[in-house]
Amino acid sequence: MPTEGPQAVGSRLRGAVAGLLVAGAITAVLGGLGVVAPLECQLLDARIRAFPVPVDPQIAIIDLDQQSLARRGEWPWRRGVHAELIRKLTAWGARLIVFDVLFIGPSGRSEDDAALASAIRAVEPGRVVLASVWGGAGVGSDGVVRPQLDTPLAELQAAHGSADFSLDRDGAVRYAPPLQREDEPGLAFAALERLEPENSAQALRRWGAGGAVLPLSGGPQAYPTVSYANVLDGVLDARIDPDFGSTGVRERDYASFFRDRVVFVGASDRTLHDVFTTA
């Protein structure tokens, strides 16, 4: 396959940077005309694509995908299932487990709530982070209407961060504020606080005002992504788990895969309405 020499690559890079600078100047001029918002989004997307950040090798994703729902039943699952996942990941040495899943209020099955609470208590404190959400408004004792934060069931005794986010005018998600209303951390920032307190303080100083721009790290499944049902059942699927399928890893090797990983648990199945456009 033909490749470009260093001079050609350098020339293309300088051209791309110059183009972005010119586009930025145009944006500044158009700002006074009130037509800048869509163009700003396009320029930000171009910048993110031109300067992607490296994929962090310690992060992995467990996906509530279509296959998982087909095998394990429709949503919501019993909380005992999530307790099972926490026990497995803990035994395999996961460094941090972050659920982009809501466990607000009792589930109606006390035994499942107790199983989830027990699984979280068995982990080193702060090593499981759950999602909170701003559910609406509530009237305080002073009669003032304020945003109401719905936090995970109290008996779970886990760290939490808000899974809320804002959409730009074109419906895309581009920013992640470290702190949200009333100093509730965003979910990702809550995870960073537990992993690297010094870096979280630095991130807050840098991005506290407007929020960090979400970078583009490769493409779809740039991070190792494993079907939730596959993890629970020990089933390996090369289509869903390319890393495992191509290297012949078996269930006994999940321990080596998840050891010291930061594991995010979230959903890609569209029926769960948690799929959004990014840059």
pLDDT of amino acid 10: 41
Predicted pLDDT at 30: 43
Mean pLDDT of 187-201: 90
Separation of alpha carbons 36 and 23, rounded Å: 11
Looking at per-residue confidence, does 198 or 214 come out higher?
A: 198
Residue 154 identity: A
More confident residue, 186 or 210: 186
pLDDT in tens, 46-63: 888 888 888 888 999 999
Q: Which of 26-30, 40-44, 103-107 has the highest mean pLDDT?
A: 103-107
Residue 4 has pLDDT above 80, yes or no: no
Give pLDDT, residue 120.
97
Closest CA to 97 of 62, 71, 147: 62
Q: Over 90: is that where the pLDDT of 15 sits?
A: no
Among residues of the chain, what percentage have pLDDT more than 70?
78
Q: Which residues of 36-64 are buried (b: 16+ CB within 10 A; e: fewer)?
A: beeebbebbbebbeeeeeeeeeebbbbbb
228 pLDDT higher than 60: yes
Residue 5 has pLDDT above 60, yes or no: no
- E-assigned strand segments in the chain: 59-64, 96-102, 128-139, 145-150, 159-162, 172-173, 175-176, 212-213, 225-227, 262-267, 277-278
Per-chain mean pLDDT for the chain: 80
Checking if the pLDDT of 219 tops 60, the result is yes
Q: Give the model's pLDDT for residue 42.
A: 86
Q: Is the pLDDT reported for residue 79 higher than 60?
A: yes
Residue 133 pairs in a beta bridge with 150
CA 83 to CA 88: how far, in whole Å? Answer: 9
Q: Is the pLDDT of residue 259 over 80?
A: yes
pLDDT score for 276: 80
Q: Give the angle 85-87-93 at the CA atoms, nearest 5°.
A: 100
DSSP state of 185: B
The β-bridge relationship of strands 212-213 and 175-176 is: antiparallel
Checking if the pLDDT of 143 tops 60, the result is yes
pLDDT of 150 > 90? The answer is yes
Residue 236 predicted with pLDDT over 80:
no
| Cα separation, 160 vs 186, whole angstroms | 9
pLDDT of residue 172: 86
- Residues in CB range of 115: below 8 A, 6 or more apart: 79, 80, 83
Average pLDDT over residues 146-155: 90
d(CA 93, CA 119): 14
Residue 97 pairs with which residues in a beta bridge?
128, 263
- Does 22 score more than 80 pLDDT? no
